[in-house]
Amino acid sequence: MSYKHQVAEMIASALVHMGVDNLNKEQVYGMLETPPNPAMGDIAFPCFQLAKALRKAPPMIAADLAANISGSPLQEVKAVGPYVNLFLDQAAVSTQVIGTILAEGASYGKSNLGQGRNVPIDLSSPNIAKPFSMGHLRSTVIGNAIANILEKQGYKPVRINHLGDWGTQFGKLIVAYRLWGDEEKVKAEPIKELLHLYVKFHEEAEKDPSLEDQGREWFKKLEDGDAEAQHLWSWFRDESLKEFMKIYDLMNVSFDSTHGEAFYNDKMDRVVSLLEEKGLLTESDGAQVVSLDEYDMPPCLIKKSDGATLYATRDLAAALFRHETYDFAKAVYVVGNEQRLHFQQLYKVLEKMGYPWAANMHHIPFGMMLKDGKKMSTRKGKVVLLEEVLAQAIADVQKVIEEKNPSLANKEEVARQVGVGAVIFHDLKNYRLNDINFSWEEMLTFEGETGPYVQYTHARACSLLRKGNYQPASSSELVPGALEGKEAWAVVTLLNAFPEVVDRAGSQFDPSLIGKYVIDLAQVFNKFYANVRILAEEDAVKASRLQLVAAVVVVLKEGLRLLGLAAPEEM
Would you state the pLDDT for residue 537? 84
Query: Which of 25, 56, 88 is where one domain is finished?
Result: 88
pLDDT greater at residue 478 or residue 460: 460
Average pLDDT over residues 473-486: 80
The single-letter DSSP state of residue 164 is B
| CB-based burial, 480-497: b 16+ in 10 Å, e otherwise | eebbeeebbbbbbbbbbb
Would you state the pLDDT for residue 437? 80
Chain centroid to Cα 365, Å, comes to: 11
Q: Is the Cβ–Cβ distance between 171 and 220 less than 8 Å? A: yes
Query: Which of 56, 88, 120 is where one domain is finished?
Result: 88
CA distance 73 to 410: 45
Q: Is the Cβ–Cβ distance between 135 and 371 less than 8 Å? A: no
Among residues 28, 39, 35, the alpha carbon closest in space to that of 4 is found at 28
Would you state the pLDDT for residue 558? 98
Strands 436-437 and 369-371, how do they pair? Answer: parallel
End-to-end CA distance of the chain: 36
Count how many domains the chain has: 2
Asked, for residue 21, whether it belongs to a domain, the answer is yes
- What does pLDDT average to over the chain? 92
List Cα–Cα distances, 222 to 183, 193, 206, 229, 232, in angstroms. 20, 21, 24, 5, 9
% of the chain residues with pLDDT over 90: 80
Per-residue pLDDT band for 1 (boundaries 50, 70, 90) equals low
Per-residue pLDDT band for 202 (boundaries 50, 70, 90) equals very high
With the C-alpha atoms ordered 188, 192, 197, 200, is the resulting torsion angle positive or negative?
A: negative
Would you state the pLDDT for residue 474? 62
Would you state the pLDDT for residue 381? 47
For residue range 206-252, what is the model confidence (pLDDT) as tens digits? 999 999 999 999 998 998 899 999 999 999 999 999 999 999 999 99
What is the domain-level CATH number for residue 448? 1.10.730.10
Asked, for residue 139, whether it belongs to a domain, the answer is no
Q: Is the Cβ–Cβ distance between 302 and 90 less than 8 Å? A: no
Lowest mean pLDDT among 28-37, 331-340, 429-438, 452-461: 429-438
Per-residue pLDDT band for 376 (boundaries 50, 70, 90) equals low
Lowest mean pLDDT among 32-36, 153-157, 158-162, 327-331: 32-36
Asked, for residue 121, whether it belongs to a domain, the answer is no
Asked, for residue 321, whether it belongs to a domain, the answer is no
Residue 24: CB atoms within 10 A of its CB come to 13
- Compute φ and ψ for 157, nearest 5 degrees: -70, 140
Asked, for residue 128, whether it belongs to a domain, the answer is no
Q: Is the Cβ–Cβ distance between 44 and 86 less than 8 Å? A: yes
- Spell out the residues 6+ positions from residue 298 whose beta carbon is closer than 8 angstroms to its own: 292, 341, 345
Q: Is the Cβ–Cβ distance between 477 and 332 less than 8 Å? A: no
Lowest mean pLDDT among 71-85, 202-216, 302-316: 302-316
Strand 43-46's sheet: what is its strand order?
43-46, 83-88, 74-80
Residue 67: CB atoms within 10 A of its CB come to 13
pLDDT greater at residue 475 or residue 248: 248
Would you state the pLDDT for residue 182? 94
Average pLDDT over residues 39-46: 94
Strands annotated E in 395-476: 436-437
Range of the domain at 37: 3-88
| CB-based burial, 198-230: b 16+ in 10 Å, e otherwise | bbebeeebeeeeebbebbeebbebbeeeeeebe
Longest dimension (CA), the chain: 86
Among residues 256, 278, 433, 250, the alpha carbon closest in space to that of 352 is found at 278
pLDDT greater at residue 511 or residue 447: 511
Asked, for residue 526, whether it belongs to a domain, the answer is yes
Q: Which string of DSSP letters, residue by residue, matches 389-413?
A: HHHHHHHHHHHHHHHH-TT-TTHHH
CA distance 498 to 108: 8
Q: Which string of DSSP letters, residue by residue, matches 473-490?
A: GG--PPPTTTT-SHHHHH
Per-residue pLDDT band for 136 (boundaries 50, 70, 90) equals confident
Average pLDDT over residues 62-84: 94
Q: Is the Cβ–Cβ distance between 250 and 155 less than 8 Å? A: no
> Is the pLDDT score of 19 beyond 90?
no
> Is the pLDDT score of 75 beyond 90?
yes
Instruction: Calculate helix-pair angle for 190-207, 168-180, nearest 10 degrees.
Output: 90
Asked, for residue 463, whether it belongs to a domain, the answer is yes
Would you state the pLDDT for residue 517? 98
Lowest mean pLDDT among 9-23, 244-258, 361-375, 396-410: 361-375
Q: Is the Cβ–Cβ distance between 236 and 242 less than 8 Å? A: no
Strands 331-334 and 118-122, how do they pair? Answer: parallel
Per-residue pLDDT band for 475 (boundaries 50, 70, 90) equals low
For residue range 180-196, what is the model confidence (pLDDT) as tens digits? 999 999 999 998 899 89
What is the domain-level CATH number for residue 67? 3.30.1360.70
Question: Which residues are bridge partners to 389 per DSSP?
Answer: none
Question: Which residues are bridge partners to 83 per DSSP?
Answer: 46, 80
Question: Which residues are bridge partners to 301 per DSSP?
Answer: 289
Average pLDDT over residues 419-440: 89
CA distance 273 to 277: 6
With the C-alpha atoms ordered 485, 491, 493, 495, is the resulting torsion angle positive or negative?
A: negative
Query: Which of 35, 57, 88 is where one domain is finished?
Result: 88
Asked, for residue 531, whether it belongs to a domain, the answer is yes
Question: Which residues are bridge partners to 86 per DSSP?
Answer: 43, 77
Q: Is the peptide bond before 73 cis (omega within 30 degrees of 0)?
A: yes
